[in-house]
Amino acid sequence: MNRKEDSMHGKKIISNSMISIAYKIIILLLGFVTRKIFILYIGEELLGLNSVYANLLDLLNLADLGIGVAVQYQLYEPLVKKDNLKLSQIMAAAKRIYNTIGILILIAGVALSFFVQYLIKNVTYPSWYVRISFLISVSGVALGYFFVHKRLFLQANEEIGLINIVDLLAKLVTVMASLLSTVIFGNYFIYLMINAAYGILSNLIIYLIFKKKFPYIKTQVHDCSKEVHDLTSSLKNVIPMKLSNYVYNSTDNVIISKVLGLATVALYSNYMTIINGIMGMEYLIGNAITSSMGKIIRERQNDDYVYQLYLTYQYAQYVFVSFCTVSFVVLCKPFITWWIGERFIVDELCFILLSVDFFVHSMYQPVYVMYGAAGRFKEDKYITAASAVMNIAVSIALVIKIGLPGVILGTLVTDIYIWLARSYQMVKGYWGQNLFKYGTKMLKYSLLTILAAAVTIWASSLISVQNLFIRLMILGVICCIVPNLLNIIATFKSHEFKMVMQYVKKYMHRKG
């Protein structure tokens, strides 16, 4: 790979990452406003019900079986070689598969609607109300699948930024419409129908953009049986990854609603709204890096340069995660008090576990991204299968004994296992690098984050402003300065810091 291609990939990564962060911040702010108005005009119980629906929809999304990961991986090589015939065959195969998935989700959603009320403890709404509201949510998810293959092509082609802009515009339209309808009508069905339209609208716009930008990529190719076979045969390796993601992201609310009730779901989901909003930035950045790294690996194969890129990405992730973790620890409680009220604050043990789990889960994102870019699905399936069983077993066992902290602890134990196992698989197994040296680096990052949190908490304790909003602003400034300054002082001589600054300077120079 020449310098021009290297620079191009670097520019794509930075541009897509910056757009992704801006997109997620706006979406997160919109989510806070929407949640506040939802509580005021529709109620806490339906807020909890909405969170359970989101998890059940993730269950139906398992019909995807990870085919999207396989499609994107298959696209890297023909994109590098500019093989339009192969690209058309892969896209035709993806279209055929996703049309089938959309139909299956509609059928499964109808079947699940007859049982959904049994997954919720002490619901006061009648069965027909729960069933219809669930079916409205299902329809939006299912119909979106008929267009999603175009989205995967743009992702593989390093155009995450364009996708985020489209998603943001569609989100702004649907959020404004749902807020107005909520204030005017206070009707949950109308709220659900408008939100179901978001995925359809976003994917439809992307579908039209794809047709305009890439008219030479055909999806009506008849001879794509080989590509269909290649994609479906890879499922045995990507299905465990898909199941693991579902277990991590989507089973907690179902377990909590069944054992502890919807009120606890609403309490827990407020924190997860914040955490998932921040993690959403990491996932979007990860998607941008996956497509670029996938192409780099096809061009350069497995050499030390790729490992150095990974370490640079891991360092950048650490700086971002350290800042976010410290900010979460310092700002979360006063923010929730200001946002929706002090009665929505969880106990101290839950809060500590949430903070630690956020850090651990965020820190292993780079190695997860490299798994996808390198196509290491076969090696990962045993790790993800074990993590899925571990998460459910520990969460169910502990939630009965200690309540909400047990669910969080189950997720934390699983995340620690995944971080250790995947690091071993990639660092030692794939790159053949010194695992002890890598582990020492990760331990250093973790200890620096603890130090940054301690110093920031101490600095924040010196603030005695009574006005809650002004206090939040001052604490926000402290969080922006203290952890970032400490991390820079501790790492500015490292190779990874110099690499990050080199990429930033190149990007700024090209912009200039």
Q: What is the pLDDT of residue 1?
A: 47
Q: Answer yes or no: are the C-beta atoms of 175 and 30 closer than 8 Å.
A: yes
Core vs surface per residue 114-149: b (16+ CB within 10 A) or e: eebbebbeebeeeeebbbebbbbbbbbbbbbbbbbb
Residue type, 380: D
Q: Answer yes or no: are the C-beta atoms of 336 and 370 closer than 8 Å.
A: no
Tens digits of pLDDT across the chain (512 residues): 455 555 566 667 777 777 777 887 888 788 778 877 877 877 777 777 777 777 677 666 655 666 777 788 788 888 878 888 888 888 888 888 888 888 888 888 888 888 887 777 667 778 888 888 888 888 888 887 887 888 888 888 878 888 888 888 888 888 888 888 878 887 888 888 888 888 788 888 888 898 888 888 877 766 777 877 777 776 666 666 666 666 666 667 777 777 777 777 777 878 888 888 888 778 777 777 877 787 777 776 656 788 888 899 999 999 999 999 999 999 999 998 888 788 888 888 989 999 999 999 999 889 888 887 777 777 777 787 788 888 888 888 888 888 888 888 988 998 999 899 989 988 988 888 999 999 999 999 999 999 999 999 999 999 888 888 899 999 999 999 999 999 999 999 999 999 888 877 776 665 55
Q: What is the pLDDT of residue 288?
A: 73
* Rounded Cα gap, residues 478 and 460, in angstroms: 7
Kindly report the pTM of this predicted structure: 0.71
- Tokens 């076979």 locate to 229
> Which residues are CB-neighbours of 257 under 8 A, at least 6 positions away?
48, 52, 119, 120, 121, 264, 265
- Tokens 């010194």 locate to 434
SS3 category, 68: helix
Q: What is the DSSP letter of 220?
A: -
Residues in the chain: 512
Phi, psi of 82 (to 5 degrees): 55, 45
Crossing angle of helices 127-144 and 44-60, rounded to 10°: 50
Neighbour-count burial of 432, counting CB atoms closer than 10 A to its CB (0-12 exposed, 13-18 middle, 19+ buried): exposed
* Rounded Cα gap, residues 380 and 362, in angstroms: 18
Tokens of 102: 């959309």
* Rounded Cα gap, residues 46 and 272, in angstroms: 17
Which has the closest alpha carbon to 178: 35, 14, 3? 35
Longest pairwise C-alpha distance within the chain: 71
Tokens of 355: 């903070």
- Tokens 């990564």 locate to 13
Q: What is the pLDDT of residue 391?
A: 84
* Rounded Cα gap, residues 313 and 309, in angstroms: 6
Tokens of 314: 């891991």
Q: What is the pLDDT of residue 420?
A: 92
Alpha carbon 214 to its chain's center? 28
* Rounded Cα gap, residues 475 and 29, in angstroms: 18
Give the H/E segment covering residue 76.
helix 67-81
Q: What is the pLDDT of residue 57?
A: 74
Here the contacts of 387-393 (C-beta below 8 Å, separation 24 or greater) are 387/244, 387/247, 387/248, 387/414, 387/417, 387/418, 388/240, 388/243, 388/244, 388/246, 388/247, 390/414, 390/417, 391/247, 391/248, 391/251, 392/247, 392/251, 392/255
* Rounded Cα gap, residues 224 and 93, in angstroms: 6
Q: Answer yes or no: are the C-beta atoms of 426 and 376 closer than 8 Å.
A: yes
* Rounded Cα gap, residues 404 and 399, in angstroms: 6
Q: What is the pLDDT of residue 61?
A: 66
